[in-house]
A and B are shown apart, each in its own frame.
Chain A
Amino acid sequence: MASCHEVKEDSKILQKTNKILLMGNPNVGKSVFFTHMTGIHVVSSNFIGTTVSYTEGDLKIGDETYTLIDVPGTYSMEPTSEAEAVAVRFMESGASAVICVLDAANLERNVKLALELQQYNIPTVYALNLVDVASRHGKEINAAVLAQELGGPVVPTVAVKSEGFDDLLKALEDVLQSDQIALCPGVCGGCSSCGGGDQPDLWQKAKDITRKVTRNTDRNPSFLDRLGDSLLKPWPGIPLALLIIALSLGIIVGGGKVLRATILLPLVNQVIVPFFKMLFSSFVPEGIIYNVLIGEYGIFVISFEWIIALILPYVFLFYVVFSFLEDAGVLPRFSVLFDNIMRKIGIQGGSMITIMMGYGCAVPAIIGSRTATTRKERLIITAVVCFAVPCISQTGALISLFGNFSPLLLVLMLLLSLFIMVIVSSILGRTLKGTVDPLVIEVPNLLMPSAKSYFAKLKIRMKGFLVEAELPMLISILIASLLKETGLLDIIAVYLEPLVSGWLGLPKEAVIALILGIVRREMAVAPLLSIESLTALQAFVGGTVALLYLPCISVFGILAKEFNTKTAVVIGASTTLSAFLVAGMINQIAHLFI
């Protein structure tokens, strides 16, 4: 149960022989099965394409330990995106068994994939998931007849409520022990033993099987079904969507401020920092080391002030809200409602989910853009995220910065970021070679998120933030502290004065923000908070530089990995150039009027 990592390179894992593959259409709940069977939490959501890479974990059955793999969802073994190609490679590499998860509410399409999987001659058990949703839609599936038709055991499950897992594991054990390949029932997708079959044949077979095993009952739409329908109509869908966005922002900004003022700031200023000051004062003599530890930019002062009091409340509340919207299935509805606007700026509605992810962190958004069907679309999404979408850590810092002046500055910054998004997307849409495919998206049912997987996901994300952000932040704080204590900062400031003070109109202390911003995006904002004489205009100009500035080191790394170093350098250079250009122009124009 111990090993779990999202693996980027799959050549070694493909060679393993004791694999059990979790296969199925996107958004049928494979990741929930994986979490339950291995005890390893992976992030799942209620829309397609959450698992774009794969995750492996150990699964003990009898005396044998197998490697269970959560394979990205695929509609067909003829892949249409990179994520689907991963699924095909896994099936081609062979496995001890396959757990094929079927969506009982959309059986025909799922049976068609099951028939395709049979071509690979791997022992298979079928988990008939979402039987509760099917029943709400007036469909009852006869699992016994389906098992007969598919030639393998079929176990009804409701994964989010952990129903049916024991039976599924038992069926899996039986299949592994019997060491028998799923018997060809004569309806399969065309293994060599029955002569093969093309796609239209498969659809017809899937249709026949679905008809045979389905019984129509009374449709019993729940409140959520009706709300899901309303969210898809322009009226009242668009006002409802705007209300959801406004409420989310209210919870993140307002709630974050309350959390910060009532709990975190007093905790840091009255308990944590005085404790470390007292501790180090007792044995560290005053001097550089003392200042690096607990001086103005001391590691034990700044790291708590910035990370806990400044950033953490907003990061936490962002993921509280975003994870809920993800699991409930709200986001694909936004994609449908706003597709017409997105088309006008050169992308399609489906990209909206990936871009929204970027408001959390650019790294998962760039990885998530793998679901884009063309390279051009991937590049546009990535560029938009790098240029115009502040990550939540940076947003937290901006909220704190503008909170000292007027909330209007935050609204202006939001409008500026939307404006830049439109410009970047429109320019790339017109200049990049290639096409952007129109929206084709499956709209999932609106669901009340399962508390277990919701909290597990929240925990993974917060842990991820604390672990991944902590080290680069500490490094950048150490750099800041050393630069200040050694006097290097003043020397650099002299060289950068024409840019920082002349063109951007910022105080010379702001230089440190530009240096630290390379490491973490919020660090391009945080140092401005400690400049007491900062004016509202300087705060806005500084915020603009930070918004557009270099993507952080992690983003640079992921750009180089997902695309190539050239793309990373081009994006990095153009964001930085535009940061100085736009922010400088704002400063110069504002000075014409002030």
Chain B
Amino acid sequence: MKTNVKQSKTAKNLNLYGAKHGKSYVVKEAPDLGILKCLGVHEGAEIFKKHDYRLGGPVLLMIGTCELAIGKDIAEQISISEVN
């Protein structure tokens, strides 16, 4: 039951950090950071969240064949939506 509540909360305002791993998403909004843009994390980019790490660790994601790790503070600011 607990998991369901958590999921419905994150579904309303889905950010990369809170989203489930093992799924594909589309970036809706990302912080205005040069390095993120350069690596391809920009509005409309399709990403696959591969893994997240406990205790405030980063999020591991794939953009195409490229693997990226993004720290918690930034991952929380990246809003995403699920790919239909």
A80 touches B38 (CB 8 A): yes
Among B42, B51, B53, B56, find the residue whose CB has the most chain A CB atoms closer than 10 A. B53
Complexed CA–CA distance, A332 and B45 (Å)? 24
B26 on interface, CB distance cutoff 8 Å: no
Contact residues of A between 227 and 244, Cβ < 8 Å to B? 232-234
Set of chain A residues within 8 Å of B38, measured between Cβ atoms = 75-76, 78, 80, 109
- Selected interface stretch from A287-295, A336-344, A357-365, A426-434: A336-344
Closest CB-CB distance, B67 to chain A, in whole Å?
4
B42 touches A200 (CB 8 A): yes
In the complex formed, the residue of A with least CB distance to B42 is A203
Set of chain A residues within 8 Å of B51, measured between Cβ atoms = 232-233
Contact partner of B54 among A200, A340, A437, A439, CB < 8 A?
A: A340
A106 touches B65 (CB 8 A): yes
Complexed CA–CA distance, A349 and B53 (Å)? 12
Complexed CA–CA distance, A15 and B43 (Å)? 39
0/1 per residue, A435-454, Cβ < 8 Å to B? Answer: 00111111100000000000
B57 on interface, CB distance cutoff 8 Å: yes
B70 touches A442 (CB 8 A): no
A441 touches B68 (CB 8 A): yes
B18 on interface, CB distance cutoff 8 Å: no
Contact partner of B58 among A76, A106, A336, A373, CB < 8 A?
A: A336
What total of A-B pairs shows CB separation below 8 Å? 109
A440 touches B65 (CB 8 A): no
B39 touches A339 (CB 8 A): no
0/1 per residue, A68-86, Cβ < 8 Å to B? Answer: 0000000110111000000
Complexed CA–CA distance, A234 and B53 (Å)? 7
B66 touches A106 (CB 8 A): yes
Set of chain A residues within 8 Å of B56, measured between Cβ atoms = 340, 343-344
In the complex formed, the residue of A with least CB distance to B40 is A109
Complexed CA–CA distance, A524 and B11 (Å)? 60
Set of chain A residues within 8 Å of B45, measured between Cβ atoms = 203
A339 touches B34 (CB 8 A): no
Closest CB-CB distance, A74 to chain B, in whole Å?
8
The contact size tier of chain A is 35 or more
Among A80, A199, A336, find the residue whose CB has the most chain B CB atoms closer than 10 A. A336
A442 touches B68 (CB 8 A): yes
Closest CB-CB distance, B42 to chain A, in whole Å?
6
Complexed CA–CA distance, A126 and B42 (Å)? 26
Contact residues of B between 13 and 42, Cβ < 8 Å to A? 33-40, 42
A378 on interface, CB distance cutoff 8 Å: no
In the complex formed, the residue of B with least CB distance to A348 is B71
Given contacts A336-B69, A343-B56, A349-B58, contact A440 B36 (CB under 8 A): yes
B67 touches A339 (CB 8 A): no
Given contacts A339-B57, A343-B56, contact A76 B37 (CB under 8 A): yes
Set of chain A residues within 8 Å of B44, measured between Cβ atoms = 200
Complexed CA–CA distance, A438 and B36 (Å)? 11
Set of chain A residues within 8 Å of B37, measured between Cβ atoms = 76, 78, 199
Set of chain B residues within 8 Å of A105, measured between Cβ atoms = 65-66
The contact size tier of chain B is 20 to 34
Closest CB-CB distance, B66 to chain A, in whole Å?
4
Contact partner of B33 among A203, A344, A440, CB < 8 A?
A: A440
Complexed CA–CA distance, A53 and B69 (Å)? 25
Given contacts A335-B69, A340-B54, A340-B55, contact A440 B74 (CB under 8 A): yes
Given contacts A339-B71, A438-B74, A439-B58, contact A134 B42 (CB under 8 A): no
B71 touches A373 (CB 8 A): no
In the complex formed, the residue of A with least CB distance to B73 is A438
A137 on interface, CB distance cutoff 8 Å: yes
Closest CB-CB distance, B78 to chain A, in whole Å?
11
Among B36, B69, B72, find the residue whose CB has the most chain A CB atoms closer than 10 A. B69
Complexed CA–CA distance, A456 and B42 (Å)? 39
A56 on interface, CB distance cutoff 8 Å: no
B71 touches A343 (CB 8 A): yes
In the complex formed, the residue of A with least CB distance to B43 is A200
Closest CB-CB distance, B58 to chain A, in whole Å?
5
B60 on interface, CB distance cutoff 8 Å: yes
0/1 per residue, A234-258, Cβ < 8 Å to B? Answer: 1000000000000000000000000
Set of chain B residues within 8 Å of A80, measured between Cβ atoms = 33-35, 38
Closest CB-CB distance, A455 to chain B, in whole Å?
28
Set of chain A residues within 8 Å of B70, measured between Cβ atoms = 438-440
Among A75, A340, A343, A438, find the residue whose CB has the most chain B CB atoms closer than 10 A. A438
Contact partner of B35 among A75, A200, A335, CB < 8 A?
A: A75
Contact partner of A438 among B55, B63, B64, B72, CB < 8 A?
A: B72
Contact partner of A442 among B39, B42, B55, B73, CB < 8 A?
A: B39
Given contacts A106-B64, A109-B38, A340-B53, contact A443 B71 (CB under 8 A): no
B69 touches A439 (CB 8 A): yes
A205 on interface, CB distance cutoff 8 Å: no
A139 on interface, CB distance cutoff 8 Å: yes
A108 on interface, CB distance cutoff 8 Å: yes
Complexed CA–CA distance, A348 and B58 (Å)? 10
Closest CB-CB distance, A438 to chain B, in whole Å?
3
Contact partner of B39 among A139, A340, A343, A440, CB < 8 A?
A: A440
A108 touches B40 (CB 8 A): yes
Closest CB-CB distance, B68 to chain A, in whole Å?
6
In the complex formed, the residue of B with least CB distance to A107 is B64
Given contacts A75-B38, A109-B39, contact A440 B54 (CB under 8 A): no
Given contacts A109-B66, A336-B58, 8 further A-B contacts (CB under 8 A): A109-B63, A199-B37, A200-B44, A234-B53, A336-B53, A336-B60, A340-B57, A443-B60
In order of increasing CB-CB distance, the 10 nearest A-B pairs are A438-B71, A75-B38, A340-B57, A439-B71, A80-B34, A443-B67, A438-B73, A340-B55, A336-B69, A106-B66
